[in-house]
Amino acid sequence: MSDTLELTKDLISRSSVTPEDAGCQAMLAERLEKIGFNIEHMRFGETDNLWARRGTEGPVFAFAGHTDVVPTGPEENWKFPPFQPTIDEGLLYGRGTADMKGSIACMVTACERFIEQNPQHKGSIAFLITSDEEGPAHDGTVKVIDTLKARNEKIDWCLVGEPSSTNKVCDVIKNGRRGSIGATLKVKGKQGHVAYPQLAKNPIHEFAPVLKILSETEWDQGNEFFPPTTFQVSNIHSGTGATNVIPGECEIVFNFRFSTAITDSIIRQKVEALLEQHNIDYEIDWALSGQAFLTERGDLVSAAQDAIKQVCEFDTELSTAGGTSDGRFIAPTGAQVVELGPRNATIHQVNECVAVDDLEILSDVYEKILYNLLK
C-alpha cells in the first residue's frame, strides 16, 4: 500500500463530520513537522484550523483544504461503512475520499517526496487546513486568513484540493469561482378572509410581478471566463395552512451566482430599486457568501497545466463552473488561486469513492507543481 493510499485511509477512518476534525489535523501536523514545517494550531469557536509553514522567505506556495466532511446519510444505504475505508474493484470507498481527504493525503506525500529531493527549495511551502468548510465557514479559512493578514504574512500561490475533475483526474482546473449573494425577503401584507379581498392585502400577489421581472432579467452577459449571472428562488413561505385566509406576509429566500461582470452592490441596488418601484412593503436581509474571483493565466496556472501535461500527457481545461470554495477567502488577499483535485462524480453522495490510481496521479501532479514553482 502506497504512502498516499495509507494516509488517505487513515484520514477517512476518522468520523470528522463538520465541524469536527476528529484528530485529522494532529495526524497531519505530526507528519509535516517531521519534514521541517512549523506548526500552528488555530482554534476559533468550535473549529480546528492548522497553519503549517516550511521556510521564512517568499514566495509562499500554500496547499489549502478541509478535514471536515458532510454527514453520511443512512449508513445502511452505503455499500461499505462510510468511515471504514474499503477498496473494491480499484475504488476506495468512504466519506471524504474525494471531498477532500484524498487530496490532502496527496498534498502531504507530494511534499514529503519533493522536500526529500529539494531540502533547500526556494520560498516557502504552507498548509492551510480547516474543519469548517462544509459548515457555515465562519471560523475556518476566513479567520486564518485574517490572522495571517494581521501579521503581514502573505500567500502568493494557493492550490485548493477541491474535487475539480470531471471525466478523468486532472482534466479540469478551476481558476475562479462565481460570487454568491443570497437574501431573505419578507413582504408585508394584511391578513384577511379570502371572500373579502378588498379588506386585505395579499403579499404573494404583491410580489408576483416583481418575481417575474427578477427571473427574466439579464443581469449581465458574463465574460470570457464566466457565464451570465443567475437568479434562483430557493424557498417561499406564506399562509396559515387554511384555504380561506389571505396571508399577512410572505418570506422569499433567493440567491444570485454572479460573475466578475457585475458586483454584489449593483445587484442589491437593482433588487431594492425594483421593490421600491412596485411599492412593496418589505424587509430584506442580504448575505454575501463570497465575491467572484479569477486567477488569470500566470505562474500558478502555467505550473499546474505543465505538471498535468508532464504526468497525464494531456492538456487540461480551465473552468469557473460550480459552487463556492474556501478559495473565495484567499483570492481577495491578492493570491493566485486554483482548485485541482479528484473527480467530483460522487461527492456528498452515498458510496462516495475515488479511484486508487487517481490518488497516485494527483500526488505526482502536486509534486510536479512544487518543482515548477519552487525548485
pLDDT at 198: 97
Classify 162 in phi/psi space as left (phi over 0), alpha (psi -120 to 50) or beta.
beta
pLDDT at 323: 80
Of the pLDDT bands very low, low, confident and very high (cuts 50, 70, 90), residue 322 is confident
Q: CB–CB of 177/191 below 8 Å? A: no
Cα 171 from Cα 160, distance rounded (Å)? 15
pLDDT digits (tens, 9 = 90+) for 239-256: 999 999 999 999 999 999
Q: What is the mean pLDDT of residues 107-118?
A: 98
Could you say which DSSP state residue 97 is in? I
Signed CA dihedral, 177, 163, 31, 85: sign only: positive
Question: 1 pLDDT exceeds 90?
Answer: no
pTM to 2 decimals? 0.89
Cα 56 from Cα 38, distance rounded (Å)? 10
Q: What is the mean pLDDT of residues 192-219?
A: 98
Residue of 141, 156, 128, 130 whose CA lies nearest to 59: 156
203 upstream amide cis, omega within 30 of 0: no
Cα 173 from Cα 367, distance rounded (Å)? 16
pLDDT digits (tens, 9 = 90+) for 247-282: 999 999 999 999 999 999 999 999 999 999 999 999
In the sheet that holds 86-88, the strands lie side by side as 86-88, 91-93, 353-355
Which residues are part of the catalytic machinery? 68, 133
Q: Which amino acid is at 323?
A: G
pLDDT at 13: 98
Take residue 334 and report the three cell numbers written for it.
491578492
Percent of all residues in the chain with a pLDDT value above 90, rounded to a whole number: 95
Instruction: Report the chain's mean pLDDT, rounded to a whole number.
Output: 97
Residue of 334, 320, 30, 347 whose CA lies nearest to 175: 320
Question: 186 pLDDT exceeds 80?
Answer: yes
Strands 91-93 and 249-258: unpaired
CA-to-CA dists, residue 277 to 203, 206, 210, 274, 284, angstroms: 15, 12, 9, 5, 15
Name 185's bridge partners. 252, 284
Q: Could you give the count of Cα atoms lying within 13 Å of 116 in the half-sphere of its Cβ?
A: 7
pLDDT at 321: 87
Q: CB–CB of 22/103 below 8 Å? A: no
Cα 56 from Cα 54, distance rounded (Å)? 7
CA-to-CA dists, residue 365 to 14, 31, 86, 161, 313, angstroms: 26, 20, 24, 12, 11
Of the pLDDT bands very low, low, confident and very high (cuts 50, 70, 90), residue 335 is very high
pLDDT at 297: 87
What percentage of the chain's residues is helix, strand, coil (to nearest 5)?
Answer: 35, 30, 40
- CA 109-114-120 angle, to 5 degrees, is 140
Of the pLDDT bands very low, low, confident and very high (cuts 50, 70, 90), residue 7 is very high
pLDDT at 324: 82
pLDDT at 126: 98
Cα 125 from Cα 107, distance rounded (Å)? 11
Strands 86-88 and 60-66: unpaired
Of the pLDDT bands very low, low, confident and very high (cuts 50, 70, 90), residue 155 is very high
Cα 134 from Cα 66, distance rounded (Å)? 8
- CA 183-161-263 angle, to 5 degrees, is 30
Cα 123 from Cα 372, distance rounded (Å)? 12
